[in-house]
Amino acid sequence: MFAWKGETLEEYWDCTNRMLTWPDSDGPDILVDDGGDATLLIHEGVKAERHFAKTGEFPDPDSTSNAEFKQVLRIIRDGLKAGLTQKWTKMSEKLIGVSEETTTGVARLN
pLDDT digit string (tens) for the chain, length 110 residues:
667 899 999 999 999 999 999 887 678 888 888 778 898 999 999 999 999 999 999 999 999 999 999 999 999 999 999 999 999 999 999 999 887 777 776 776 66
User: How many domains would you assign to the chain?
Assistant: 1
Does residue 11 belong to any structural domain of this protein? Answer: no
Does residue 7 belong to any structural domain of this protein? Answer: no
Does residue 59 belong to any structural domain of this protein? Answer: yes
Residue 72 pLDDT? 98
Does residue 103 belong to any structural domain of this protein? Answer: yes
Does residue 2 belong to any structural domain of this protein? Answer: no
Does residue 9 belong to any structural domain of this protein? Answer: no
Does residue 14 belong to any structural domain of this protein? Answer: no
Could you write out the three-class secondary structure of the chain? CCCCCCCCHHHHHHHHHHHHCCCCCCCCCEEECCCCHHHHHHHHHHHHHHHHHHHCCCCCHHHCCCHHHHHHHHHHHHHHHCCCCCHHHHHHHHCCEEECCCHHHHHHHC
Domain that holds residue 47: 30-109
Residue 68 pLDDT? 93
Does residue 19 belong to any structural domain of this protein? Answer: no
Whole-model pTM?
Answer: 0.89
